[in-house]
Structure formats: C-alpha cells, structure tokens
Amino acid sequence: MSAHLPILQVILPLLAAPTCLLLGRTQLLWMFTCGVSALCAVISFQLLHTVHTSGDIIYSLGGWSAPVGIEYRIDSLNAFVLLLVTSLSTVVLCAAKQSIAKEVPESRQLYFYVAFLLCLAGLLGILCTGDAFNVFVFLEISSLSTYTLIALGRDRRALWASYQYLIMGTIGATFILIGIGLLYMITGTLNMRDLAQRLPDVEQAHTLYTGFAFFIVGVCLKLALFPLHLWLPNAYAYAPSIVTAFLAATATKVAVYVLIRFIFNVFGFDFSLSQFPLPQIWLALGIIGVFAASIVAMSQHNIKRLFAFSSVAQIGYIIMGLSLGTAAGVQAALLHVFNHALMKGAIFLAIAGLCYRLGAATMNEFKGLGKQMPWTMAAIVAGGLSLIGVPLTVGFISKWYLVLAFIEKGWWMIVPFIVIGSLLAVVYVWRLVECAYFQEADSKREAGEAPLSILLPTWILVFANIYFGVQPQFTVHATSIATLGLFGATP
Amino acid sequence: MILSSHFNYWIVIVLMMIGFFIVISHGNLVKKLMGLSIFQTSVFILYISMGKVAGGTAPILDEAYSVYSNPLPHVLILTAIVVGIATTALGLALVVRINEAYGSIEEGDIEMQDCDKLDKENANK
Amino acid sequence: MATAIAIARVKDLFASVMLTGIYSLLSAVFFVLMDAVDVAFTEASVGAGISTILMLSTLTLTGQYEDPTRHKTRTALVVVLVTGALLIFGTADMPRFGDPQTPVQTHVGPHYLEKSYEEIHVPNVVTSVLASYRGFDTFGETVVIFAAGIGVLSLLGFSGRKEKTTISVSAPMYQHRILRVVGKVLIPPILLFALYVQFHGDFGPGGGFQAGVIFAAAIILYTMLFGRQAAEEVIKLSWVRLLAAVGVMLYGSVGLISFLNGKNFLDYSALAADAVSGQHYGILLVELGVGITVTAVMILVFFSFAGRVDKKAEENE
C-alpha cells in the first residue's frame, strides 16, 4: 500500500468530498472531515520521511509512464509543503465545528465541509503533480471551491469579494493556461521533467519568453504579489473566519510552491533568473509590497483586513528571498512560507474565536479585550510578535535567514529595508495591543473566553510558533534538503 | 511567408484581447463574465490551432486515412471548456446573489454602497 | 471576430448573450475545420447551449441594460495592448500553422496516434487519451464540475417545495400547446441520442460529458414546457444531488479497484484478465461516471437558477 501513498494523498480528500453528501449529518460531517484531513497529514509525514531516506517518489497514473501519461513526483520540496498544508488544515478543521456552526447557516454547513475538502484536494493535487496541465486542472478545483468558501461569509461583501476573486483568479488561471500552451507549442510535452530537458534547445525562442511571462504573471496573481493583490484583502476579511485561517495558511503558500517549482525545475534557474530583469523586478515589488501593505494595514479598522494586508506584506518578504536566486535566499523564502503559515494560522484562528464571541472583529470591539478574553488576546499578541520577528519566535528565524542571505549575496543595502519593514509591523501590532489592554470596553459587554474547541487549536499553533522558533532544526533541515534538491537538479 | 502562416494566431490574439478588454473595462458583472468566456474561448482556439496538421483529418482511426491531427490539444481543451463553463456557472450564481444583496449588478454602484458602509463603520468609532 | 467586437459594443445585455452564443457556435465551426470534432461538439453544447440558458436566467433576475459608463478604460487599454504586444512578440518564431514537423506533432502526439489502437483498441484517439492516458485530468475535470455544482447550490440552493400549482415563469412555453406536443415527442429521442453519444464515444465524437449535457438539456426542455413543479415531481432534487456525488465516486472507485488489484491508480488493465478489454471496461465506466455527474450538476444548476426566477416572480405578484 505504501507505494500508493502519493495518489492516496490527493484522492482521499477528493473522494471524501462526495461522500460527505451521502453522510448528511453535521456532527458526523465534522468528525469525518477532520479524520480525513488528519489521515492526509499522516500520509504526508510518511511521504516526507520516505523522500528523505530513499529519494524521490515517482508514481505513474493509469500505469502510463510520463510523458505519455501523467505522473506524480514527490521530492523533498513538495513533501515539505504537503506536510505544512495537511497539518495546518487539520488544526484549522479541529476548530471549525463551533465557529462554522455560528457563522454559516445550518442549511449551508454541508457545503462548507464539501468545499473545504475539495479545496484541500485541489491544493494537494497541485503539490503532487509532475504535469503542467494537471496543475491547471487542480488549480481550478481549489479555486472554484475557494470562491464557494468565501461566498459563505455572512456579510454581503463576501459575495462581492468572492466575485472579484473569481474574475481575478480566472484571469490568472487563463494566463497560466496560455503560458502552458505556449510551452507545449515549442516542446510538444506537458511533463515538467520532460519540459526541463527540452526547453534548453529552444532557449532563444520568443515564444518561450512570452510563455514564461504569462505563466509567471498568472501565478503571481494567485500569489497576491503586490500589485496583483487586490483580490486578497476583501476575500480574507469577509470570508468565514475559519476559511480565512485556512486560506491564509495554505493557499498562497501553494502558489509560492508552483512558482519555485517552475522557475527552478521547469524553466531552469539560469534561464529564469539571469536572462530577465526578473530578480530586480521582484526585489522592487517585494520591498514596495512590504511597505505599501504594512502602511495600509496600519489604518485598517477591520482586524481581519489588517492582517490580510499584513499577509500581502509577508509575501513581499518571500518574493525578496526568491529574487536573490541563491540557495540561501530560496531557503529563507521556504522557511518564511512555513513560518508565516504558522503565524497567520494562529492569528486568524484566534480571530475566529473573537468572532465567535463578539460577532465581528473591529478595533472597536477590541477595547478592553485583554481582560475579557485573556487567552485569545495573548494568542494574537504572540502571533503578532512572531510577525514582527521577535527572537524566540519563528518570525525571527526566517527574517534572520533572509538577512543572512542578503548579506551573503553582498546586497547590504536591502537589510535596512527588512528591519524597517519589521518596525512597521510593530506599529500595527501595537495598535491592537494598545486597544485591547489599555482601553476600557465602552459598552457593558459580557464576553467570556472563546470556546475551548477553538482556543485549543489556536494555542497548538502558538506553541508551534515558539517551538520552531526555539528549536528550528527540523524546518531548517527540511528546507535545506529541499533547496539542495532544487539546485542539484539545475547545475 | 510568416504573414500567411501566422495569420491564424494573430486573429486569436486579437480575439483574446477583446475579451480581456471587456473583463477589465466593463462595469457590468454579467458582461465581465461574457468577456471572460470570450477570452477563454480564444485560448481554446490557440490550442486547437497547434494540433492541426495540414491535410490531416480528425483523430478517429480509420484505414482510409493516414494523416491525423494531434489529439492531445483536443483533450486538453475538452477539459478546459468544462472548467470554463463551471467557472461561468458559479460566477453567474454569484451575480444573482449580489443582485439580491445590493440591488445592482454594476461595479460602480456596488463599490459606492460598500464605501458608504465603511464610512459609517468608521464614523462609529 | 466581428461578433466579439459587437459584444463589446452592444449595451443591451440580451443581445450580447445571443452574440456570445453565436460566437461560441462560430468557434465550434472553427474547431470542426481544425479537425477537433469532439471539442466542437462540446463547445456547441456548452457555449451555445448551457451558458446561454444560464446567462438568460441571470438576466431575467437582474435586468437587461448595462450602465454605459466605463471605468478604467485607459488603464484597461494599456494593459490589453501590452499583453497583446507580448503575445504578438511571442508569435514571431512560433512553428508554422499546420506544419507536421513541429514539436507538438513529433514528440508525444505520435505515440497516441500510433500505439493507442494496439494498447487500448479504441478508434477515437481523443477518447482513449481523455479517458486512459490522461484519465486523471478527466477525473479532475469531473471534480471541477462537481465543485461548481456545490458552489451554485450553496449560493442559490433550491427553494423548498411549494403548494402553488400556477404556471411558473420558468415554463415560458407552457401556453403553446403545439410546442408541448412537439416537445413530448422530441424528449424521448433526445434521451436516446444522449445514451448513444454516451456509449458511442469509442468510435465517433462523443462521450460522457457531451452525453451528460444532452441528457440534461432534455430535462431542461421538459421543465421549460411543463414547469418546474412538474419536473420536480418526476425527479427529486436531493436524489440528483446524490447522483452528482455518485458519478465522481464511480470514477474514483474504478481507480481504487485498479490499485486494489495491485496496479496504479486508474490503470484499467487491472479490471479484466486481458489488458485491452480491461481498458474497454475502464473507459466505459469512467465515461459513465462523467456522464452521471455532468447530467446531475447541469440539472441542479438549472433548477437553482429557475428556482430563483420563480421566487422573484412570486414576490412581484
């Protein structure tokens, strides 16, 4: 059975989704979904272990070996991201039951669980596959279910946000489709490994440049790289809180993975980063993104929106790491992918707890919360500290590696920008702290602590933040193997 | 030579851009979706054009023919068409709900209403 | 192309829906010229059929005219021109159109054309690539449809059972007796034709997706003629929803069976003693799965829209 793990990883949630329709009862649904997700996490852990001990796993679907058929290829890079996605989705789901019961009308809860599983399956499918067109198909599975999930939000603005995301997301997907089509046109293959072998022969082709450009722009739309991030803040702000936690922790991370995979394993490192001014563009966009988004975040009144903008800023850091084009830079980016997922997972889950008690999360509601919901607020503060990059948190680890990578490359000039960016984060986190701890609640509000089922997963993530901040061996080890794999494949 | 052989692609590109333009510039939500479907359909045409072999026939094996067009792009596009209609259906469903919630399907109106609401929230601060 | 420009210009949304339909039909014609008969079939039924119906239902709910003011026209123009220029730049050394020596024609494609008959024994190569070589993509496609169905249901839902027996607006043609008679005569052959398309996909253009669309079209026609209530008496929607799930699971379980038999996921040769006949069973079953899901989802989507139209009409009364 262990030989089938790569495919089980994807089809388990994929087949669980229609099974949900047969189950029908909400209580059962939640347990079932949690179970499936947990099983996926176990599988991905096993996969990572196998990859680390015995090398890449190749799985030919339908028994047709690539490039005639579609293959799954698990290496140290996607096994790492798989583990991240599955474990975070499990933790988030654990908290889902009560939050969803509160935020989504009874008749629609069934659809929440189905769409959630589909979205998870889509993301895992993107991660596992070694076929360019298959990426597009699973991208659309995850996108369509994401639109559904966002539209489940109570506010009518959730609908509008979902529609905007649908338009932007589809444009992005179509760009990716054009990119893949052009690559196919000049190589005749869709398999990534095969593409990588055949592309150097046509390196000078204009068609390749165009295909490359379309693909990158399409992925960057999905990634919400500044200035293509316009869909993200509203989508995060008005989706049900659990959905926000899930998306923030996973969806953009998978897009980062696609970017890394294609740049290093398909287009080839030399082609992507040396023939274009891409590193410069990325570096500039990354820095501007960090600053612009952080500054906008400061003036936000809606807390979910605030942290949504902060996500855009964090993506800026990730892209800055990638733009270096060195092993250290990529490792820093991967570390930040992992760590940012932990921070934002913790913060948005805590916010889900707030929304459960208070019905909304605006600055207004925050007044005096430090006393009324001490544990939830403490979680947000811990996440915020991690976001800033305070030592002993994961945020510090990834920023530290990022700074080191820049120094190693000799780009001293950039380091102050990273520091200032972190200071900006201090400002918006401080606003929250001030509101929650130093202001009195203005209304007579009886808000107790968030329910245990939400609080517990939140604190699991908070502890993960601290644990991987103090003991970063596991993440550093896994990312360094992944990075070595990337650079080893393209000498 | 290039002119005649690439004419096909150029037409496709013009079509694509018309669709893309509709998506960006029009404020009406249904119109945007139409633009999107034109955009996608023209990408389909691009793919199908790749598979064509001069003098070839549809890839259904028969002893009477020996030259066939490449079936792979056809398969990809079958999948893509289905994805396209799925997106359109979901988009239209969203439009219906947006119309119920806002009473309008014009981008400008909706954003205006949202701005008003945001202002009110901020005023309560 | 003229149609596309017209769509951009026309203010009346009904007209542009019609033009979109025409555009879709024209591209279907183009696909036939390009030898892609399967694609043409699908494009015609989807673009000119399903999406037109859905857009029209939406418009009856939202109103017919668009606001002529444009925003961001200049930005849009710049973005579009840049993208277009990039694409034109990309065409500069594209392989010539119709050239048999391009990478597309020489690399993977020939394998399908030369080996598929021997390996799968199905004359329609598109079917064998779709259902077997790239069967996992098609599985994904089925799930996409399923996901869209779930999305539409969660957004629109189907409204509860109503006592009212008045003629619903979703049956605009109820008054025409001739249409009703003709319709009654037409529906059985359409259903039969759908079945033919479903099972004939091995030899000619067709397959699960197209059959599903046609099957759903027959039921939609029935609804338009006899009203939603009448149709709901014949088919229970919760059952249809179940069917949508069953289709996906049928596809998936074919894959599961093959790996319980020790082969890889979706390796149909595990289904029978003889690899080639195993492929046959496999293709038949997965196409059936696709057909069931597509039919079910199309019906669900249509009923969800029609339900809203009815609701609005009642509110107006």
**C126 — contact with chain B (CB < 8 Å)?**
yes
Using an 8 Å Cβ cutoff, are A214 and A182 in contact? yes
**B85 closest CB neighbour out of C37, C50, C98:** C50
Partners of C132 on chain A (C-beta within 8 Å) are: 62, 64
Contact C150 A111 (CB under 8 A): yes
Quote the minimal CA–CA distance from C164 to chain A in Å. 23
**A82 — contact with chain B (CB < 8 Å)?**
no
Partners of B121 on chain A (C-beta within 8 Å) are: 301-302, 362
**Predicted local confidence at residue A443, as pLDDT:** 63
Output the six-digit token pair for A193.
Answer: 């490994």
pLDDT in tens, A150-207: 998 888 888 999 999 999 999 999 999 999 998 888 888 888 888 888 888 777 677 8
Contact C105 B70 (CB under 8 A): yes
pLDDT in tens, A193-250: 888 888 887 776 778 888 888 898 999 988 888 788 888 888 898 899 899 999 988 9
Please tell me chain A's helix, strand, coil percentages from 3-state DSSP, rounded to the nearest 5.
80, 5, 15
Residue A421 lies in a domain: yes
Quote the minimal CA–CA distance from B67 to chain A in Å. 18
The set of residues, in sequence order, having a beta carbon less than 8 Å from that of A21 and lying 6+ positions away, is A110, A114, C241, C242, C244, C245
**CA-to-CA separations, A58 to A3, A184, A421, in angstroms, rounded:** 9, 22, 41
Residues within 8 A of B (CB atoms), C 158-197 only: none
Contact A363 B125 (CB under 8 A): yes
Confidence of residue C286 (pLDDT cuts 50, 70, 90): confident
pLDDT in tens, A31-81: 899 999 999 999 999 999 998 888 888 888 877 877 788 889 888 888 999
Contact C245 A21 (CB under 8 A): yes
Q: How far apart are CA A454 and CA A133, in angstroms?
A: 38
**CA-to-CA separations, A297 to A182, A304, A308, A426, C214, in angstroms, rounded:** 39, 10, 8, 11, 51
Helices (H), chain C: 2-9, 13-33, 37-43, 51-62, 73-91, 103-106, 109-119, 125-128, 135-156, 177-200, 208-226, 228-234, 237-260, 275-316
Residues within 8 A of A (CB atoms), C 90-149 only: 90-95, 102-109, 111-112, 132-137, 140-141, 143-144, 146-148
Quote the minimal CA–CA distance from A179 to chain B in Å. 10
**Predicted local confidence at residue C165, as pLDDT:** 40
Looking at every residue in chain A, the average pLDDT score rounds to: 87
Mean pLDDT, rounded, for C75-84: 80
Q: How many domains does chain A have?
A: 1
Q: How far apart are CA A98 and CA A276, in angstroms?
A: 50
The residue ranges of every structural domain in chain C are: 1-99, 119-317
Confidence of residue A108 (pLDDT cuts 50, 70, 90): confident
Neighbours of chain A (3+ CB pairs under 8 A): B, C
Q: List the domain range (segments joined by +) for residue A425.
A: 277-491
Q: How far apart are CA C290 and CA C247, in angstroms?
A: 6
Contact B29 A163 (CB under 8 A): yes
Residue A394 lies in a domain: yes
Which residues share a beta bridge with A74? A57
Instruction: Please name each of the domains of chain B with its CATH number.
Output: 2-123 (1.10.287.3510)
**C89 — contact with chain A (CB < 8 Å)?**
yes
pLDDT reading at B90 higher than 90: yes
What is the predicted ipTM?
Answer: 0.90
Give chain B's contact residues with A (Cβ, < 8 Å).
Answer: 20, 23, 29, 32, 36, 39-40, 43, 46-47, 50, 72-73, 76, 79-80, 83, 86-87, 90-91, 94-95, 97-98, 101-102, 110, 114, 117, 121-122, 124-125
Residue A105 lies in a domain: no
Q: What DSSP string describes A314-353?
A: HHHHHHHHHHH-SHHHHHHHHHHHHHHHHHHHHHHHHHHH
pLDDT reading at C83 higher than 70: yes
Q: Is the dihedral of CA A244, A250, A253, A259 positive or negative?
A: negative
pLDDT in tens, C163-210: 344 444 545 555 566 777 777 777 788 788 878 877 776 666 667 788
In terms of pLDDT, which residue wins out, C122 or A158?
A158
pLDDT reading at C262 higher than 70: yes
**B45 closest CB neighbour out of C30, C95, C203:** C30
